[in-house]
């Protein structure tokens, strides 16, 4: 049977299959998770559509291969790149995110930030920033994982009862279903009552990490914290910012640390750049905290607070974030340095909105702080 290919040429069936496989491979190389099951679904789908319609072909593939809005954007880029013979760029995620977040690198160029704090005063051009973004150099493979620590932090932050129940002999609520079942051997007499207590609601952490130049020295700690949060609390979100904001949650889901770091490096091109805390908070408020779950969300900001940007904006956005989260925790690794109080105006402006202020700079200091941290109410 001869069918028409999406590129307009007539060819054999195997040509379509070959193109489809190539696109699947290209999409996989661009970071999409294309399992064999998905590829099989794609081929099943081809039987349901008019392959000569390129748009239809593209949509059918996308329906099966993409699972988020960002992945849809990446897939479209891969697909168009394939037919235009242009290889997909390594920075697909950054392009997809930049289309979504609609930021501009130019916005950061006018922001002096805390340039005086950065020892290496490079320009903030994209190329220069990209050169510095080799995160493998900043990863400490010998550092102990923070999983246990994050679990402890999460336990201390989780205080709200859920609507779900768990069995407990000391519970006040009777589980009728279980009680009836237990009564069968006793002639349906309700002798032993099963009791339940409400489960403690899981905390959802939104981790907002400052990756500007002045935080470079704390990068190993930051990276460990990001990995720890994402591995321990699956429903958490990790966002990094300097002059731009990037949600790197999907990237941190991988198992191979080196691979994940490479992906993050490719995505976050502005690592070690300036700082725009107000913009980061605005993006988090608009894109993450607007999603709801305000009573179970804890916003953790890791930043030194060095930002000469829009202080009024920081106040406004923190006030908004305060209403949309259960508590705001600020981890400041610079706390205690001689120049801290003089320069960090943003930090001063933020203080009234912060529930817990933790001057942590590595895993040990965070552990000590958590041990002494009272349960947030």
What part of residues 268-297 is at the interface with other proteins (CB under 8 A)?
A: 282, 285-286, 290-293
Piece of 53-61, 78-86, 121-129, 268-276 that binds other proteins (CB under 8 A): 53-61
Measure the CA–CA gap between 65 and 24, rounded to whole angstroms: 8
Which of residues 76 and 122 has its CB atom nearest to other proteins in the complex? Answer: 76
- By CB under 8 A, is residue 1 in contact with other proteins? no
Pick 250 or 305: Cβ nearer other proteins: 250
Q: By CB under 8 A, is residue 60 in contact with other proteins? A: yes
Angstrom distance (rounded) from CA 315 to CA 318? 5
Q: Is 8 in the site for other proteins (CB under 8 A)?
A: no
Site stretch for other proteins (CB under 8 A), options 47-55, 76-84, 86-94, 217-225? 47-55
Give yes or no for residue 86 binding other proteins (CB under 8 A). Answer: no
How many residues sit in the footprint of other proteins (CB under 8 A)?
45
Instruction: Tell me how far, at minimum, the Cβ of 164 lies from other proteins, in Å.
Output: 5
13: how many CB neighbours lie within 10 A of its CB?
13
Beta carbons of 357 and 330 less than 8 angstroms apart: yes
For the chain, state the CA radius of gyration. 25
- Unique residue bearing structure tokens 């010998």: 142
Q: How far apart are CA 137 and CA 118, in angstroms?
A: 18
Residues 20, 61 contacting (CB under 8 angstroms): yes
Contact between 50 and other proteins by CB under 8 A: the answer reads: yes
Is residue 173 a contact point for other proteins (CB under 8 A)?
no
Cα of first residue to Cα of last residue in the chain, in angstroms, is 69
Nearest distance in Å: CB 212, other proteins: 23
Query: Do residues 246 and 280 lie in contact, with contact meaning Cβ atoms separated by under 8 Å?
Result: no
Under rule CB under 8 A, residue 151 binds other proteins: no
Position among 3, 59, 130, 311 found at the interface with other proteins (CB under 8 A): 59
Binding marks (x or -) toward other proteins, 186..205, rule CB under 8 A?
A: -xx------------x--x-
**Where in 230-249 is the site for other proteins (CB under 8 A)?**
234-235, 249
Which residue lies nearer to other proteins by CB, 187 or 372? 187
Q: Is 45 in the site for other proteins (CB under 8 A)?
A: yes
Which C-beta is closer to other proteins: that of 44 or that of 368? 44
- Minimum Å gap between C-beta 340 and other proteins is 32
Q: In angstroms, rounded to a whole number, what is the distance separating the alpha carbons of residues 251 and 230?
A: 10
Q: Which residues contact 99 (CB under 8 A, 6 or more apart)?
A: 73
How large is the greatest C-alpha to C-alpha distance in the chain, in angstroms? 82
| Piece of the chain touching other proteins by CB under 8 A; list 32-40, 91-99, 304-312, 362-370 | 32-40
Answer yes or no whether residue 38 interacts with other proteins by CB under 8 A.
yes
Which of 3, 15, 33, 128 touches other proteins by CB under 8 A?
33
Nearest distance from C-beta of residue 71 to other proteins, angstroms: 8
| Nearest to other proteins of 69, 348 (CB atom) | 69
Q: Which of 21, 63, 191, 312 binds other proteins (CB under 8 A)?
A: 63
Applying CB under 8 A, which residues contact other proteins? 33, 35, 37-38, 41, 44-45, 47-50, 55-56, 59-60, 63-64, 66-69, 72, 162-164, 176-177, 180, 184, 187-188, 201, 204, 234-235, 249-250, 282, 285-286, 290-293, 320
């Amino acid at each position: 049977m001869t069918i028409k290919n999406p590129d307009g040429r007539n060819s054999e069936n195997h040509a379509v299959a070959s193109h489809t496989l190539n696109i699947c491979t290209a999409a996989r190389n661009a970071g999409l998770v294309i399992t064999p099951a998905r590829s099989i679904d794609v081929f099943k789908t081809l039987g349901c559509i008019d392959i000569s319609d390129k748009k239809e072909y593209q949509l059918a593939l996308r329906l099966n291969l993409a699972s988020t809005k960002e992945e849809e954007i990446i897939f479209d880029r891969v697909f168009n790149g394939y037919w235009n013979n242009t290889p997909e760029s390594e920075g697909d995620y950054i392009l997809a995110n930049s289309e979504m977040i609609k930021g501009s690198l130019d916005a950061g160029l006018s922001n002096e930030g805390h340039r005086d704090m950065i020892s290496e005063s490079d320009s903030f051009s994209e190329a220069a920033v990209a050169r510095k973004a080799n995160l493998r150099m900043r990863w400490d493979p010998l550092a102990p994982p923070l999983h246990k620590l994050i679990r402890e932090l999460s336990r201390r932050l989780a205080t709200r009862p859920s609507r779900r129940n768990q069995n407990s002999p000391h519970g006040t609520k009777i589980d009728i279903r279980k009680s009836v079942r237990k009564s069968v051997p006793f002639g349906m007499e309700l002798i032993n009552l099963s009791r339940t207590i409400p489960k403690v609601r899981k905390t959802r952490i939104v981790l907002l990490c400052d990756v500007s130049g002045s935080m470079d020295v704390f990068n190993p700690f930051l990276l460990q914290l990001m990995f720890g949060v994402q591995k321990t609390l699956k429903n958490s979100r990790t966002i990094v910012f300097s002059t731009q904001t990037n949600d790197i949650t999907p990237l941190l889901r991988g198992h191979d640390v080196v691979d994940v770091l490479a992906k993050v490096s490719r995505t976050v091109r502005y690592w070690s750049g300036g700082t725009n805390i107000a913009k980061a908070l605005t993006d988090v408020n608009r894109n993450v905290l607007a999603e709801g779950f305000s009573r179970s969300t804890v916003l953790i900001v890791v930043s030194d607070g060095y930002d000469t940007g829009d202080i009024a904006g920081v106040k406004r956005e923190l006030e908004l974030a305060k209403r949309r989260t259960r508590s705001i925790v600020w981890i400041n690794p610079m706390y205690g340095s001689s120049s801290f109080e003089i320069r960090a105006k943003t930090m001063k402006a933020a203080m009234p909105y912060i529930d817990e202020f933790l001057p942590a700079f590595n895993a040990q200091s965070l552990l000590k702080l958590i041990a002494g941290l009272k349960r947030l109410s």
